[in-house]
Amino acid sequence: MKIRLRLALWYSGVTSLILLLFLLGTYLGMRHLLFAALDKELDFVIESIEQSYDPETGIFEGLKHNPVNLSQHLKKFYLVVRDTSETPVFYSLLAQQIALDIPLARNGERVSSFVHLAPEKIPSLRLNGKLKHKAYVSFRSVSRQLYYREKRVGWATIALPVADVEDSLEHLFLLLAVGGLIVAALIGVGSFFLTRQALSPVRNIIRKARQVSHSHLDERIEIQNPADELGQLTMVLNDLFERLQKAFGTQKQFLADAAHELKTPLSILRSHWESEIDNPAVPHALKEKIVQDIENITRLSRLINSLLFLSQTEQINSNFEFEILELGGLIQEVAADIRMLTEAKSQQLQVVELVPATIRGDRSRLYQLFFNLIDNAAKYTPEGGKIWISLRLENNRALAEVRDNGPGIPAADLPHIFQRFYRVNKDRARKSGGSGLGLAICRLIAEAHSGIIDVESEVGKGSVFWVSLPLQV
Ligand code: ADP
Judge if 419 and 346 occupy the same domain.
yes
Average pLDDT over residues 310-332: 81
Return the exposure string of 158-187: e unless at least 16 CB atoms fall within 10 Å of the residue's CB, then b. bbbbbbebbeebeebeeebeeebeebbeeb
Render pLDDT for 58-82 as a digit per residue (tens, 0 to 9): 888 777 655 555 656 667 789 999 9
Residue with the smallest CA separation from ligand 1 atom 13 is: 423
**199 lies in a domain?**
no
Of 386, 361, 364, 370, nearest to 453 by C-alpha is: 370
pLDDT on residue 432: 64
Coil, helix or strand at residue 410: coil
* CATH number, position 272: 1.10.287
- Kindly state if the Cβ of 424 falls inside 6 Å of ligand 1: yes
Render pLDDT for 26-63 as a digit per residue (tens, 0 to 9): 999 999 999 999 999 999 989 988 888 888 888 887 77
Give the helix/strand (H/E) hosting 399.
strand 397-404
pLDDT on residue 30: 95
Asked if 426 and 432 count as a contact pair (C-beta separation under 8 A), the reply is no
How far is residue 223's CA from residue 409's CA, in Å, rounded to a whole number? 49
Judge if 165 and 125 occupy the same domain.
yes
Res. 387 pLDDT band, cuts 50 70 90: very high
The atom number, within ligand 1, closest to the CA of 423 reads 14
The atom number, within ligand 1, closest to the CA of 372 reads 7
Question: Which of 310, 338, 361 is where one domain is finished?
Answer: 310
pLDDT on residue 315: 54
How far is residue 209's CA from residue 34's CA, in Å, rounded to a whole number? 62
Q: Residue 85 — φ and ψ, nearest 5°?
A: -90, 20
- Kindly state if the Cβ of 299 falls inside 6 Å of ligand 1: no
Range in 10-24, 44-58, 137-151, 417-431 the model is least confident about = 417-431
Average pLDDT over residues 288-299: 90
The atom number, within ligand 1, closest to the CA of 435 reads 2
Question: Which of 251, 280, 310 is where one domain is finished?
Answer: 310
Res. 110 pLDDT band, cuts 50 70 90: confident
Output the CA 455–ligand 1 centroid distance in Å: 11
Output the CA 436–ligand 1 centroid distance in Å: 7
Residues 6+ apart with CB under 8 A from 214: 316
pLDDT of 249 strictly over 60: yes
Judge if 138 and 280 occupy the same domain.
no
Judge if 58 and 145 occupy the same domain.
yes
Range of the domain at 404: 319-470
Domain count, the chain: 3
Q: In testing the pocket of ligand 1, which one of 380, 416, 441 has its CB within 8 Å of the most ligand atoms?
A: 380
Judge if 370 and 454 occupy the same domain.
yes
Q: Name residue 358's amino acid.
A: T
pLDDT on residue 429: 60
Output the CA 424–ligand 1 centroid distance in Å: 7
- Between the CA of residue 24 and those of 9, 34, 164, 165, what are the distances in Å? 22, 15, 20, 17
Average pLDDT over residues 73-99: 85
The atom number, within ligand 1, closest to the CA of 437 reads 6
* CATH number, position 430: 3.30.565.10
Average pLDDT, the chain: 87
Of 34, 29, 41, nearest to 160 by C-alpha is: 41
pLDDT on residue 314: 62
Query: Rounded to an integer, what is the distance from CA 53 to the centroid of its chain?
Result: 78
The atom number, within ligand 1, closest to the CA of 465 reads 23
- Between the CA of residue 456 and those of 441, 464, 465, what are the distances in Å? 18, 5, 7
- Between the CA of residue 402 and those of 142, 235, 333, 351, 394, what are the distances in Å? 102, 47, 14, 9, 16
